[in-house]
Amino acid sequence: MKAKTKLITVIILFAFFNSNEGFVLFKDTNMFVKSSTVITSQKKVSTADAYSDKDLGVIVKEGKTTFRLFTPNAEKVTLVTFENVNDEEGNSFEMGRDEDGVWETTLDGEMFGKFYGYKVRHEDDDRSDSDLPLCIDPYAKAVATYNTYMNPRKSIVVEPGSFDWENDEWIRQDWRDIIVYEMHIRDMTAHESSGSSYPGTYKGLVEKGKRGGIDYIKNLGVNTVELLPAQEFGSIEIPFEEKMAGRYNTWNPYERNHWGYMTAAFFAPEAYYAQDWKELKWNTWMGEDARQINEFKNMVKAFHSDGIAVMMDVVYNHLSEYELGNLKEIDKEYYFRLDDDDNYIAQSGCGNDLRTEAPMMRRMIVESILYWMKEYHIDGFRFDLGRLLDWETIETIIYEAKKINPDVVFVCEPWGGGYDPQGFSLRGWGAWNDQIRNGVKGENPNNGLGWIFGEWYGNNSPARIKSYVRGTLVRDSLGLFQTKEHSVNYLESHDGYTLGDFIRIGTGEVESDEIIKDVDANAKLSHLQLKLNKLGALFLFTSQGMTMIHAGQEYARSKVLPTDNDIPDEHKGMIDHNTYNKDNAVNYINYDHAAANKELFDYYIGLIELRKKYDAFRYAEYEDITFKEMKGNKFALAYELNYKDQNFFVMFNADTLNDAHFNLPKGDWEILVDSERAGVESLGNVSRKFTLDPSTGAVLIKK
């Protein structure tokens, strides 16, 4: 990327919003209000090395409000302020640049509650001033969004609140103790079966006395929730089969970005989850009162009061593609990785990759993480496509965050421009363990089945299955992690088929392209499906490492695309494996289906109780696990687990046709888990021998 030099040019401008054409800028010297501070400099700035340690964003102090924006490649920056979110006309203030590339202006008065944005002009812009979009402040603490294509936004000057945390603090956990429930804020209460008074919102999620939401999560027994992205994001994609902003939407007839992996503002909570579902309309503003700030805090406080930690799924590898007026217009050359022709590099598959190695991009990421920790009491983070971040940024994040909370949790997807869970583990990060996911259930349900189906996927083998039990450690030569707590063991996430649907298709009882005529009947598990779900869950919860399940996994959630709409989707009525773009029943947690599969739900509760009560399943050392030789059944597995005064015998039979017979170690044993139930209460006594039916498992504890 070539560094460029700029000269400062001051032009007096005035901005207004045109409802048909968007934000428009034109010259009007009569309406110009002069700012009280203008800094100018002719110093040449090296784009790649530009850096400033000034506070950025909005600083209100001693009766004045200062606005600062870092953009070393800009030719001119104009601040535009608005009294009301609906104002089409605003006041314009020229900004000056210091020698490090920071543009600044200071206005008289404390401008709390006012709306603002930046018009940023570059030397090579072909657009006239009137075509420049209004850019949000990258450091904005709250954002108002106009609900239409390209997600037009205005930043809000937020007054520091007096939120009453009531002595709330971070929930500090040993990573080995963590049982993560990955969930979408809206999905947990959007379905009518949740009984929520505030469906699909922060408030609804933590509403007490309801069938869904926080009471359901607490009853399940998990100790950590991981929120799918909740930083302000682009929720509306571009029109289907139409051109907009140089792109042609051939991929998304729903025109939605439901999961939230298109971040717009790294410091602002998503306003969408603070809105009344029925009041939200097209071509209206949301988030203008900044209520999302306190509602997010109330959500965190409620989870903490129930002993449940809160992690956030965060996206710092790319920026929202579905809007104008963000870092792309502020300074494309500084903030993004570009090829030799100045086109965006997009290894993320999302249109653009952020240049995290740029000093001020790195600073923004680190400051964002620290802000969420301090301001919102967030206990940990999961990084989307973590390998797209440079190693220095990865190292800086965990170093700085642990100064604040030594127990803060950092995990990631260890791919994106490469695959390197070992690299993250060496730096103290956890990572999603694809080996256990693919090895246990398989890579796909059509021709890539795994161990629970009585198959070996890829290079999977009995040796690898044993490695997973011990934490998938590098000392096995097959593993990935330096320590087992870095292994995030999971069988299902928001991506891909749910475990329940993977099994429905993998057993051949449902075809991947089958039209499901009775959604409720499809959701109800067959005997074989129930057995395989239990077998996978038992292996997951008895393996060493951090444990993660996805919302609905506990009842074998099925994602069948609704047919009661006019969306031109040829897959309607089928099971879906990629629901990122659908804000409808395919994504919502259906508590009637949880009740229909109560046996599996109770089995998960029992496994969670087992793991939480007995340290052996979390803290056992490598040498505390002794595998037994199983002749004649390559899909059977058994091991003794001896940790301090806890002695277990764990057995699996993944053979789909034959029973497995196990000789038990000497002594009397109590059954805690069998093919039907799981928990911490005795289900009976046994000694000498134990037989498992096909596709079942058991856990025994020595008397």
CATH at 401:
3.20.20.80
Asked if residue 26 is part of any domain, the answer here is yes
Instruction: Read off the pLDDT of each residue in 658-665 and give the average, rounded to a whole number.
Output: 97
pLDDT at 22: 34
pLDDT at 267: 98
Final residue before a domain boundary, out of 351, 371, 400: 351
Same domain, 74 and 190: no
* Cα distances (angstroms) measured from residue 190 to each of 68, 291, 314, 345, 416: 39, 20, 22, 36, 32
Instruction: Read off the pLDDT of each residue in 278-285 and give the average, rounded to a whole number.
Output: 89
Q: At what angle do helices 327-335 and 359-376 cross, to 10 degrees?
A: 130
Q: 260-264, 311-315, 413-417, 529-533: which has the minimum mean pLDDT?
A: 413-417
Same domain, 337 and 381: no
Among the listed residues 237, 235, 257, the one whose alpha carbon sits nearest the alpha carbon of residue 249: 237
Same domain, 559 and 684: no
pLDDT in tens, 347-405: 999 999 999 999 999 999 999 999 999 999 999 999 999 999 999 999 999 999 999 99
Exposed e or buried b per residue across 245-272, where buried means at least 16 C-beta atoms within 10 angstroms of its C-beta: eeeebeebbbbbbbbbbbbbbbbbbbbb
**Distance between CA atoms of residues 218 and 256, nearest Å:** 30
pLDDT at 27: 28
Asked if residue 267 is part of any domain, the answer here is no
3-state SS class at 39: coil
CATH of the domain at 683: 2.60.40.1180
User: HSE-up of 366 (CA within 13 Å, CB side)?
Assistant: 22
Instruction: Read off the pLDDT of each residue in 156-172 and give the average, rounded to a whole number.
Output: 96
Asked if residue 345 is part of any domain, the answer here is yes
Same domain, 520 and 585: yes
Query: Does the pLDDT at position 13 exceed 90?
Result: no
Structure tokens at 193: 């079966």
Q: According to DSSP H, which parts of 441-569 are helical?
A: 462-469, 499-506, 519-523, 527-542
pLDDT at 161: 85
Structure tokens at 457: 């996927």
* Contact assessment for residue 478 and residue 422, using Cβ atoms and an 8 Å cutoff: no
pLDDT at 16: 32
pLDDT at 46: 52
Query: Does the pLDDT at position 24 exceed 70?
Result: no
Same domain, 190 and 332: no
Query: Does the pLDDT at position 540 exceed 80?
Result: yes
Same domain, 341 and 381: no
pLDDT at 278: 78
Same domain, 507 and 376: yes
Domain tally for the chain? 3
Selected residue with higher pLDDT from 655 and 3: 655
Exposed e or buried b per residue across 507-541, where buried means at least 16 C-beta atoms within 10 angstroms of its C-beta: beebebeeebeebeebbebeebbbbbbbbbbbbbb
pLDDT in tens, 558-611: 999 999 999 999 999 999 999 999 999 999 999 999 999 999 999 999 999 999
Asked if residue 575 is part of any domain, the answer here is yes
What pTM does this model have?
0.93
Confidence grade of residue 11 (pLDDT, cut at 50, 70, 90): very low
pLDDT at 124: 82
Same domain, 299 and 380: yes
For 221: left if phi > 0, alpha if psi spans -120 to 50, otherwise beta; the answer is left
pLDDT at 57: 98
pLDDT at 78: 96
pLDDT in tens, 196-207: 999 999 999 999
Same domain, 58 and 203: no
- Residue with the two structure tokens 């008289």: 108
pLDDT in tens, 465-523: 999 999 999 999 889 999 999 999 999 999 999 999 999 999 999 999 999 999 999 99
CATH of the domain at 71: 2.60.40.10
Final residue before a domain boundary, out of 613, 632, 663: 613
pLDDT at 49: 84
Confidence grade of residue 649 (pLDDT, cut at 50, 70, 90): very high
Same domain, 76 and 118: yes
Highest mean pLDDT: which range of 8-22, 271-285, 391-405: 391-405
Query: Does the pLDDT at position 182 exceed 50?
Result: yes
Structure tokens at 512: 């991947």
Instruction: Read off the pLDDT of each residue in 74-89 and give the average, rounded to a whole number.
Output: 96
Same domain, 358 and 342: no
Asked if residue 98 is part of any domain, the answer here is yes
Confidence grade of residue 131 (pLDDT, cut at 50, 70, 90): confident
Asked if residue 240 is part of any domain, the answer here is no
Contacts of 340 (CB under 8 A, 6+ apart): none
pLDDT at 8: 33
The mean pLDDT value of the chain amounts to 93
Confidence grade of residue 6 (pLDDT, cut at 50, 70, 90): very low
Same domain, 20 and 76: yes
pLDDT at 245: 86
pLDDT at 43: 39
Residue 328, domain extent? 1-135+318-351
- Residue with the two structure tokens 């109560």: 598
**Distance between CA atoms of residues 240 and 252, nearest Å:** 6
- Residue with the two structure tokens 């890539």: 448
Final residue before a domain boundary, out of 582, 613, 644: 613
Q: According to DSSP H, which parts of 377-518 are helical?
A: 391-404, 421-426, 434-440, 462-469, 499-506
Asked if residue 142 is part of any domain, the answer here is no
Asked if residue 277 is part of any domain, the answer here is no
Instruction: Read off the pLDDT of each residue in 165-177 and give the average, rounded to a whole number.
Output: 98
